Amino acid sequence: MQELEQRVSEADQRAEKAEKQIQVMEEKLKSANVQTGESENLLYKKYQDLTSQVQEKDAVIKRLEIQLEQQMLVRAQEAKIIEEKAAKIKDWVTFKLREMELENQQLKLANVKQTEQIVLLQDRLQ
């Protein structure tokens, strides 16, 4: 009987020890849940912040891409205008050069004629 009482006593002690361990584990679990909940909230807020930053940066990138495309179009148009102006200038210079060459030839002819007249006049004076 004593042996049974001793076994009961030991079983009671083990049961109390197990209950204490259970209480400690439950407290740890509650603490972990609170920390997990808090860290989940922090992570979720951080996730939302990062998501909004990514969206803002995507919007900025999109805006910059549009501006780049517009600038490329403007530069292409400006290049076309410059090419057209350069072609007009080239044509004008070519035209003026031909005009001046013609005028130069006429002046040479006039010079030759006048030189001949001077020679004739000099011959008459002598």
pLDDT 10s digits, 51-78: 999 999 999 999 999 999 999 999 999 9
pTM of the prediction?
Answer: 0.49
Q: Residue 28's pLDDT is what?
A: 79
Max alpha carbon distance in the chain (Å)?
177
Measure the CA–CA gap between 102 and 16, rounded to whole angstroms: 125
Contacts of the segment 78-81: beta carbons below 8 A, 24+ positions apart: none
Among the listed residues 37, 59, 61, 41, the one whose alpha carbon sits nearest the alpha carbon of residue 49: 41
Residues in the chain: 126
pLDDT reported for residue 33: 62
CA 94 to chain centre: 44
State CA 83 to chain mean position distance.
Answer: 29
Q: What is the pLDDT of residues 3-57, one digit of tens each?
A: 777 878 888 888 888 888 888 888 877 776 656 556 677 878 888 999 999 999 9
